[in-house]
Structure 1
Amino acid sequence: MAKWGEGDPRWIVEERPDAKNVNNWHWTEKNATPWSKDRIRKLFTDFEIKDNNIECKITEIEKVDGEATANNRKGRLIFFYEWIISMKWTGLLPGQEKPSEGKINVPNLSEENDLDDVQIEITISETTDESHKLKQFMYNVGRDHIRKQLGVYLKELREEFSKGLILPKKDDIINQNTTRPDGVANISNAFNKKINMQPIVSVDDKSLGCKVAVTTIQVFESFQCRANEIYDAWTKPEMVSAFTRGPCKLEANRGGIFELFGGNIHGKFEELVPNRKIVQSWRYNQWPSGHFSHVVIDFEEKGDHTEVKITQTGVPENEKDATYKNWKGYYINSTKQTFGFGSFLM
């Protein structure tokens, strides 16, 4: 990892002739959501489960809600997915004339759970002897078939979206003309994004030897948790690593430093008031050299939630919108999704 305030030599574009994702160091991402929704629907449309003269069939895919992404970080492939799936099924016992009906619910298919541990709920629409027998069949036999189909989706997800995420290194392409694979891009407006930032003239910063136009942003959010829980989530290294989905360096004490998102976000703690306030000097690596902003995070616990106000001064003016969006996406939304402190906001 780079020293605090210094760039990482692995980001130097000359290491690859095309100046793209040097040594696969950048976080790159493919959106697998549309493909996944379509693939899940196709895998279960008219899917049949037969055994011992009992026949059941999925007749309708009611809901496929969620998201999936394929990511490359430091040459390592990482897949994130979270799905809620609801389906209708019918079944017939030997000699049964009128089919029984029911529903299948998969409340949480995600990378956090092994496939064998994925919950599959089976319900029936009416209470008859035949329906109860078919429900038991779906529970004992049908769930295994459903898990196998989900396994097919996960296998194909990894195969389909591994393509092009790991780019060849310098030695692999030195004499080749290469183009970036379709669908692969450094995350737009992300803290992990490598950009070329040119200083702009307005406010004089003598420490930089240049002038930087700066502005202030504020972010307001409510979390469904106690103040100490969200405070811990942003000050304990193991919890920060969980919601940033990567290793971090963090010393949550006055004067302690922090480095997040591969060192792209770094700074030091100026003040900490447990469960009430965090004050930081805060910098994005691609800002003008040596330029830091000032971040104040206030926590106020209410009756059934905690309100958080983030005030950041000294943000380069041309980075205002991107920085705001990244607080919402890579801090707030990711924290909510990881720890269950509220619905995940898109």
Structure 2
Amino acid sequence: MGITTNSAAQARQRLGEVLAGITLTPAPTVVRTTKLESMSGDAFLNIRKNKLIPSYDLEVRVGWTGELTDGEGKVVGTATGKLHLPHIGDDNHDEDPEIQIVTDTNSADAERLKQAVHKGGKGPILEVLKKFVAELRAGGPALSEKDGGEGGNAAAAAGTSGGQGANGAAAAAGSAPKPKPGSADASSSAPAAAAKGGSGSSGRSISITARYHCRPSDIFECFTVEGRVCAFTQSRAVVQPAPGGSFSWYGGAISGEFVELVAPSRIVMRWRFNTWEEGCFSKVVIDISEPEHGSTVVKLKQTDLPTHDKFGNEDTADVTEKGWHSQVLQRIRQVFGYGV
């Protein structure tokens, strides 16, 4: 039996981020994309026999606006239109999708701008779509951090949208800590928290044991392969799987760095919620064993949990433990089909 997740809404959101504000052609015929006008079709993430199998067939329309300038930079003509991509599908993931260029008017200016895009303006769109398809096929749509370069405006958008905000993402990872009644905001409640003893660790710890039908390497990859983290969190993630490498889950709600990686049996991390006081980290040790063939046991121990978050809430241990159960360990079981 497999599991199928509908990813159409996330795909639409991600396309809206990456396709906005891309410069297609330089002066004197400057054309830029504006926004995702529409997306129709289906996108699913299927898990069959512990394998991610994406299935998608999308039709996309993106708005564009253009300016014609003279040799001195003066605008002498404008036009708008749409880029129509009739088929972005898993059946042609290794091919460039067709791009049809449509103008909103039949003016001479519109035709000149259209021809400029035809001649040399499709490359930036195709490059962005290659990254989008790679994310989709890695277990997404993966709302991952984007690098710079062409489409930089889309990269900036990914840092501020693409799912939940800071507290919203924290909610996805557990129960989002909130300021206590009477606290105006985080900055006003932080001094009160500091008065209780600062952000140092309390010595609190949690221990969790989970069992899966899979191999240890499958679980190890769920924490060390970016696409897999994106798949079970269904949100942005960054994973640099090496000692000293950083990680970020749920759009930055959880972050830290890897301290030790021994594939496929041990992971040690410095780990924190973004609602903890600045500079406060806990230690997470994940030991993975296979006492019987195909039956994997995960033992997780987290120490140095803070006594309270930056809002003064003192339930950090409970919130953290619930988050591990419901938003990490159980999601890995459901998304990848590793149920016991």
Q: TM-score range by the shorter chain?
A: 0.3 to 0.5
- Please say which structure displays the higher CA radius of gyration: 1
Q: TM-score, normalised by structure 2?
A: 0.44
Q: Tell me which of the two structures has the higher relative contact order, counting C-alpha pairs closer than 8 angstroms and 6 or more residues apart.
A: 2
